[in-house]
């Protein structure tokens, strides 16, 4: 959510930002917010004047009652009753106007960083840099489900019986690699100076609305029936929500946290959700990082955060690249975002394994997260980034560490979490 002062002082800037995101249908919201805000400020002044009159009149009534001037006191009491009625009526109008303003402000997109490339959709995202040499071996890389099945490591048929399509059982060595990657991701981030945290996996609707756009909420979140609780789609939701309504001392910044959680996503409208592989599923596990910092430090942390994901995947012998998200692919709360994509030697192309975003003070405004500074309080900047989301990360590992004989190499960084094994041998 942007600062309403931007609409008051520079509505054209807000409109131009909307145009660059190809959301012209939202242009009318800027004019409506401006009009409703002007009305609300006028009514606020009226209410303040009425309250001042009521306070003054109340003092006069008290004086008249002490002087036994009952007749005059009763006249003023009648005026007071009328004044109270006017205050009540104006406050109802004011509440309605403020609700209309908030409804529109919640869907007006955040102001993007000037460096964001302009484009209608993800086809216009821009490659920034490659890390590691993409390699295609002279032997066939099977589909990820087939690799898992050669180790007797995947059972989606049973998962369909217990839970439906889009779920899975991981078994044996494949399950162990999956868990090893998460444990390594945790320790990797702790070694980088981030504090480890396990958050709640269910959050209330006010937190959901604070951390994500309505479009994302509708397409992603599972709601618990008859309760004001949602399953998280990423631990960023809980982790940022942790600071809801808090005033953070400036000297305690930056706050750098890394968190583990299972994640649940409806993947509404997703294609291929019923395919037998592990690329797109309803449930996965994730190591996340979040940073809360001063606004002037946000871009420095943004660059550091995505570079940590690159470093993590390269330590597992997985080539990656970074891809700048264009304006049309940028979620409404985000100022700037990039994806980290892993190389798929099977498909001979990259696929997304993580995403890094800086959101300015958009989440902080919605959730009331402020920094206690020497010269007053101000809204914090929030950032989030994927360290590892798996089994998607597992797919990247399987394809890039598969030998010609069907065995899997275990990179040096992962061996302590795999009982010292240097490779695992398929069972069939």
**What are 288's two structure tokens?**
């996340």
Of 76, 105, 134, the position where a domain reaches its end is: 105
pLDDT at 269: 52
Is the same domain home to 282 and 380?
A: yes
CA dihedral 125, 128, 133, 135 (to 10 degrees): 0
Answer whether residue 115 is part of any domain: no
The structural domain count of the chain equals 2
Q: CATH number, domain at 40?
A: 1.10.287.40
Which segments in the chain show pLDDT lower than 70? 268-276
Answer whether residue 263 is part of any domain: yes
CA dist 167 and 283 (Å) reads 6
pLDDT at 314: 98
Is the same domain home to 84 and 219?
A: no
Is the same domain home to 247 and 167?
A: yes
pLDDT at 158: 94
- Please, which residues have CB within 8 angstroms of residue 47's CB and are 6 or more apart in sequence? 87, 90, 91, 94
pLDDT at 65: 83
pLDDT at 272: 52
Of 75, 105, 135, the position where a domain reaches its end is: 105
Is the same domain home to 142 and 211?
A: yes
pLDDT at 275: 62
SS3 assignment for 296-319 = HHHHHHHHHHHHHHHHHHHCCCCC
CA dihedral 224, 280, 160, 284 (to 10 degrees): -50
DSSP-derived secondary structure for 240-286: HHTTTT-EEEGGGPPEEEEEEEEEE---TT-TTTTSSSSSS-SEEEE
Give, as one character, the DSSP assignment of residue 423. Answer: E
pLDDT at 77: 85
CA dist 154 and 275 (Å) reads 13
CA dist 149 to 138, 304, 398, 411, 426, Å? 22, 37, 12, 21, 9
Is the same domain home to 80 and 161?
A: no
Is the same domain home to 339 and 419?
A: yes
User: How many CA atoms lie less than 13 Å away from 31 in the CB half-sphere?
Assistant: 5
Q: Which helix (H) or strand (E) covers residue 377, if one does?
A: strand 376-379
User: How many CA atoms lie less than 13 Å away from 263 in the CB half-sphere?
Assistant: 24
Is the same domain home to 127 and 33?
A: no
DSSP-derived secondary structure for 103-146: HHHTTSPPPPPTTSPP-SSGGG-EEEEEES-----SS----HHH
Structural domain of 390: 122-424
Answer whether residue 113 is part of any domain: no
Is the same domain home to 142 and 100?
A: no
Is the same domain home to 164 and 101?
A: no
- Please, which residues have CB within 8 angstroms of residue 157's CB and are 6 or more apart in sequence? none
Is the same domain home to 163 and 89?
A: no
Q: What is the pTM of this model?
A: 0.90
Q: Model confidence over 149-188: pLDDT tens digits?
A: 999 999 999 999 999 888 999 999 999 999 999 999 999 9
Q: CATH number, domain at 409?
A: 3.30.930.10
Answer whether residue 167 is part of any domain: yes
Residue identified by tokens 């484009």 is 119
Of 105, 132, 156, the position where a domain reaches its end is: 105
pLDDT at 229: 95
- Please, which residues have CB within 8 angstroms of residue 21's CB and are 6 or more apart in sequence? 109, 112, 327, 328, 330, 332
**Paired sense of beta strands 255-264 and 423-424, if any:** unpaired
């Amino acid at each position: 959510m942007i600062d309403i002062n931007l609409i008051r002082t520079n509505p054209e800037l807000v409109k131009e930002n909307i145009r660059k995101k190809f959301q012209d249908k939202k242009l009318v919201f800027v004019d409506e917010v401006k009009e409703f805000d002007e009305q609300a400020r006028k009514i606020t002044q009226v209410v303040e004047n009425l309250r001042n009159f009521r306070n003054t009149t109340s003092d006069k009534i008290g004086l008249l009652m002490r002087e036994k001037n009952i007749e005059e006191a009763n006249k003023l009491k009648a005026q007071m009753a009328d004044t109270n009625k006017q205050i009540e009526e104006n406050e109802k109008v004011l509440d309605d106007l403020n609700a209309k303003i908030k409804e529109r402000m919640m869907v007006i997109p955040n102001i993007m960083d000037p460096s964001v490339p302009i484009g209608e959709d993800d086809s216009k995202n821009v490659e920034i840099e490659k890390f590691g040499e993409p390699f295609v071996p002279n032997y066939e890389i099977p589909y990820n489900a087939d690799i898992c099945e050669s180790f007797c490591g995947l059972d989606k048929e049973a998962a369909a019986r217990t839970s439906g399509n889009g779920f899975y059982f991981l078994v044996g060595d494949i399950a162990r690699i999956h868990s090893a990657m998460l444990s390594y991701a945790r320790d990797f981030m702790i070694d980088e100076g981030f504090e480890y945290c396990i958050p709640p996996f269910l959050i209330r609707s006010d937190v959901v609305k604070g951390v994500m756009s309505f479009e994302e909420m509708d397409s992603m979140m599972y709601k618990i029936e008859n309760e004001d609780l949602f399953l998280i789609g990423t631990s960023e939701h809980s982790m940022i929500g942790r600071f809801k309504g808090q005033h953070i001392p400036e000297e305690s910044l930056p706050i750098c946290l890394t968190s583990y959680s299972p994640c649940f996503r409806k993947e509404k409208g997703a294609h291929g959700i019923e395919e037998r592989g592990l690329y797109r599923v309803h449930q996965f596990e994730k190591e996340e990082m979040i940073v809360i910092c001063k606004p002037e430090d946000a871009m420095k942390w943004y660059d550091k955060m995505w570079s940590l994901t690159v470093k993590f995947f390269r330590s597992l012998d997985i080539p990656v690249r970074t891809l700048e998200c264009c304006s049309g692919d940028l979620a409404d709360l985000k100022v700037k975002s990039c994806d980290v994509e892993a190389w798929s030697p099977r498909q001979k192309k990259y696929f997304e394994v993580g995403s890094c975003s800086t959101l300015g003070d958009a989440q902080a405004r919605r959730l009331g997260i402020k920094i206690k500074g020497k010269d007053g309080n101000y809204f914090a900047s929030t950032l989030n980034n994927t360290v590892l989301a798996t089994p998607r990360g597992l797919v990247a590992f399987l394809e890039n560490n598969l030998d010609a004989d069907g065995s899997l190499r275990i990179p040096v960084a992962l061996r302590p979490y795999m009982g010292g094994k240097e490779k695992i041998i398929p069972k069939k």
